[in-house]
């Protein structure tokens, strides 16, 4: 029989531990009352393990793949989800809005950053809806890495050369970015959602050398509802995810 991956419901002791952690977060926040901004960084981290119960991970080997939600400004974990190593990265990346609900009432500005495992329209629509269920009302500025679908790839292919601007570079690659006004979501009647924009990223090796797969360039994208930042600043803000950093080529 094939292996089945799933995320079991938390036991009563684990729910109690989560409540203790929430109380701790709020206690720390009260001592730092001037901190009114909370940016949540959500990511899964593979932890290698040789226990008999450990499952194979997408990186190879066996282990576990817990998800952590980190309050970046305070360097505090506000919520977590323990998962076996064989749980797909895209499966239940968010689960529920427990992390945002765990933030203290003193927070006035909320943000969210995630990688492509968080590129799920259910989550994005929840973030875009100021009247969201089971969560704080109001604006939540987010930036999430987009998965490269065929439709997104086609949209990026239509960007004219003059639309690309320098973004960042290092010893091996040059990164350029471009604005991509696009929203793949069809709104329901009377549904009010934040407008979004996609920021396309083009990565080229120096000296025109090829990537390992033979490609001259690689493309990535980030979707956001923030229009107060220009493209470069937004991408730099997104890259400051504290849970796990990624180089330019692995956006």
Q: Are 157 and 144 in contact (CB under 8 A)?
A: no
Task: Using CA atoms of 77, 80, 82, 83 in order, give the dihedral in degrees to the nearest 10.
Answer: -110
CATH number of the domain bearing residue 139? 3.90.350
| Per-residue confidence (pLDDT) for residue 105, from 0 to 100 | 80
Answer whether residue 4 is part of any domain: no
What's the predicted TM-score (pTM) here?
0.81
Cα 3 to Cα 225: distance, rounded to the nearest angstrom: 38
DSSP-assigned beta bridge partners for residue 204 = 174, 217
Answer whether residue 7 is part of any domain: no
What are the two backbone dihedrals, phi and then psi, of residue 30, each rounded to the nearest 5 degrees?
Answer: -65, -35
Tally the domains of the chain: 1
The rounded average pLDDT for each run of 10 residues, N- to C-terminus, in the chain (251 residues) is 54 64 69 82 79 78 80 85 65 55 83 90 92 88 95 95 89 90 87 95 81 82 96 93 48 53
Task: List the domain range (segments joined by +) for residue 176.
Answer: 12-24+35-250
Answer whether residue 29 is part of any domain: no
Let me know the angle formed at the C-alpha of 95 by 241 and 198, rounded to the nearest 5 degrees.
50
């Amino acid at each position: 029989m094939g292996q089945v991956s799933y995320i079991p419901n938390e036991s009563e002791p684990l729910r109690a531990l989560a409540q203790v952690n929430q109380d701790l977060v709020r206690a720390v926040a009260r001592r730092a009352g001037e901190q009114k901004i909370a940016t949540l960084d959500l990511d899964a981290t593979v932890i290698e393990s040789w226990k008999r119960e450990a499952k194979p991970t997408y990186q190879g080997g066996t282990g576990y793949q817990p998800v952590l939600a980190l309050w970046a400004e305070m360097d505090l974990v506000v919520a977590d989800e323990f998962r076996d190593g064989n749980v797909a990265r895209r499966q239940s990346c968010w689960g529920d809005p427990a992390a945002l609900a765990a933030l203290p009432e003193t927070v006035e500005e909320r943000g969210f950053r995630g990688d492509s495992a968080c590129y799920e329209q259910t989550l994005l629509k929840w973030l875009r809806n100021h009247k969201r269920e089971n969560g704080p009302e109001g604006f939540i500025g987010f930036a999430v890495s987009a998965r490269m679908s065929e439709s997104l790839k086609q949209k990026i292919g239509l960007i004219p050369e003059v639309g690309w601007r320098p973004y960042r570079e290092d010893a091996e690659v040059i990164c350029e970015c471009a604005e991509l006004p696009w929203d793949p979501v069809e709104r329901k009647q009377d549904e009010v959602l934040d407008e979004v924009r996609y920021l396309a990223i083009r990565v080229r090796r120096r000296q025109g050398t090829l990537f390992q797969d033979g490609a001259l360039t690689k493309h990535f994208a980030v979707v956001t509802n923030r229009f107060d930042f220009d493209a470069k600043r937004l991408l730099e803000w997104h890259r400051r995810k504290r849970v796990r950093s990624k180089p330019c080529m692995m956006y």
